[in-house]
Each structure stands twice: as structure tokens, then as C-alpha cells.
Amino acid sequence: MAEDATRRIQEELRQIAAILEEVIGRESNWNRELYLIPNADFLGKKPFDCRIELDDALVNLDVRWRTLIHEILHSFSEGYNLRDYNQFYGWEEGVVERLQRIVRPQILFRLGIIVAEETFASVEAGHPFNPYIEALERIRQALNAEAEQAFYLQLLKTPIRERHSALLQMGIRMGGARGKRVLAAVSAARSVLERRVR
């Protein structure tokens, strides 16, 4: 029974990774290992040896899709290592969580999966990573970056430790009042994005 569930979730992760490889234009570094953890104190994890761990209570719940997509997105993140992750926690978790919410409808559509949006909305309304997303959204709005998916994909492809400085450089290059707005948004966001919320 547990082996069947593991194989099924591994296949779901494989399909998600294949779609994201097309969307992102690079390969996932997930090593294809999945561990279902009984009584886990987390929903999902992607440790730095590139396996994925999932709370086994999720395996038959529709809400699992958001966790699977989130964890696989870490496998595409440039500079995903323990030191940088711990130091720039929100710069990674905020980017990955927002991107998960953006690409999830596309992925589920391609997989032929129908899940009511309310299933995810109730979890995401009070999600601990929301302050990170709000800080990143203020930067995106200051940049006037209307293409939300492109903004977060660019951050995902930027090494975690360089995401802050890359956005500062964009503000500096812009100059003028708009550049100042970007610099102010990036500076204000830093205190939020470099603080652990859980």
C-alpha cells in the first residue's frame, strides 16, 4: 500500500517536473527519490541531497498538488544550497511559493486534473510565506513588471544569494524617480525576506 502510494506520487512529481522543464527551460535537479514521512511536522521538504519528502497524510488529498509543485520548483532554483538557503530564506521560499501559485493552474490543466480553487485558497489565505510574497510583489510593482510569471522565473534562475543585489542593480540602472522607488522597495523588502517565519 505504502509502496503503491510512493510510486503514484513519484509519477505525479515526474510529470510536474517534465512540464516545468518546458516552462523554465532547464532541467530539474530532483534525484527522483521520494520519501513519505508518517506524522511529519511539515507538508513537504526538498533536502539538499535533492530528494523530496512528503507528509504521508497528504497522499490522497487534492491539496497535495500545491506542495508537490512547490517542492519540485526548489529543484530548479539556482544556487539552492544549505548556507544560502538559510541566509536568504525568504528570497527562496517567497519566490517558489508565488511561482507555485502562478503555474499551478497551467500544470493541473496539462495533467487533466480538476481541483476546486477553494481547496488551495483556504490553505494559502493564512500561509506563513505570504509576507515574503507581499514584499516581492511590492518590488515587482515598483519595477512595473506586468509579466508576473516572467519576473518570478527570472528570480528563480538567479542564484539565491544574488537575488537582492540583482534587483538593486535593476533599480540603479533605471535611475530617476522610478529607480528610487525600486531601490526603496528592495531595501524595505530585505528585512522581511531575510527573516525566517517558521
Q: What percent of the chain has pLDDT over 70?
A: 99
Task: Please name which of 174, 166, 94, 104 lies closest in space to residue 137, comparing C-alpha atoms.
Answer: 94
Average pLDDT along the chain:
94
Distances in whole angstroms, Cα of residue 40 to Cα of each of 58, 114, 164, 177: 10, 27, 32, 48
Q: Is 91 helix (H, G, I), strand (E, B) or coil?
A: helix
Q: How far apart are the C-alpha atoms of 33 and 12, rounded to whole Å?
A: 12
pLDDT score for 109:
97
**Strand ranges across the sheet with 44-45:** 34-37, 52-55, 44-45
Residue recorded with cell 477553494: 118
| All residues at 6 or more sequence positions from 106 whose CB lies less than 8 Å from its CB, including other chains | 19, 23
Residue type (1 letter), 185: A
Q: How far apart are the C-alpha atoms of 160 and 77, rounded to whole Å?
A: 8
86-129 pLDDT tens trace: 999 999 999 999 999 999 999 999 999 999 999 999 899 999 99
pLDDT band at 192 (very low <50, low <70, confident <90, very high): very high
pLDDT score for 197:
74
The grid cell for 19 is 512540464
**pLDDT greater at residue 178 or residue 17:** 17
* Segment 46-62 mean pLDDT: 95
156-171 pLDDT tens trace: 999 999 999 999 999 9
**For residue 1, is pLDDT > 60?**
no
Q: How far apart are the C-alpha atoms of 9 and 173, rounded to whole Å?
A: 45
CB neighbours (10 Å) of residue 19?
18
pLDDT band at 145 (very low <50, low <70, confident <90, very high): confident
* Segment 162-188 mean pLDDT: 94
Annotated domain spans of the chain: 2-193
Task: Please name which of 36, 85, 79 lies closest in space to residue 61, comparing C-alpha atoms.
Answer: 36
67-88 pLDDT tens trace: 999 999 999 999 999 999 999 9
